[in-house]
Amino acid sequence: MADDRVRERLLQVVWKEIRSTDERNILNVPAARRAIDAGASPADLARAMTAASYETAFRLLFLLSAEHAEEGDDKAQTGWTIIETSFDDSDEPTPDTGSVLEFLHEDLLSSDPTGAEGQDLFA
């Protein structure tokens, strides 16, 4: 099993990305700007975009850390694994701990730094 600190660090980075959308920076997205210009609430639009980011992160973590090439395909011949790495002087990644980070998607909600476990995204 992977070191819990490694899991926590990765999930913190993922949540930082998920929660990076706010009412100010959504204006950089042309479709969001048009929706606001048409009367959409910036707060609601930012929440919807953040919820979409959460869903994308969850699905990606599932696909990467469950080692399935496709959802539900437990007989897959290929898949992915997440392993912590470090970089040496040659900038080549080398495994740090040798621990595989499995089933990260299962810890995503409970690692929400706001403590809301994502509930504010779906209300």
Model pLDDT, residue 91: 72
Where do runs of H (alpha helix) occur along the chain? Answer: 4-18, 30-37, 42-65
How far apart CA 72 and CA 94 sit, in angstroms, is 30
Burial of 27 (0-12, 13-18, 19+ CB in 10 A): middle
**Contact by Cβ (8 Å): 68, 81:** no
Q: How many CB atoms lie within 10 A of CB 101?
A: 21
**pTM of the prediction?**
0.76
Please name every residue paired with 85 in a beta bridge, in sequence order, or none if there are none: 95
Per-run averaged pLDDT (10 residues), the chain, 123 residues: 77 94 93 96 95 93 70 66 75 67 82 89 81
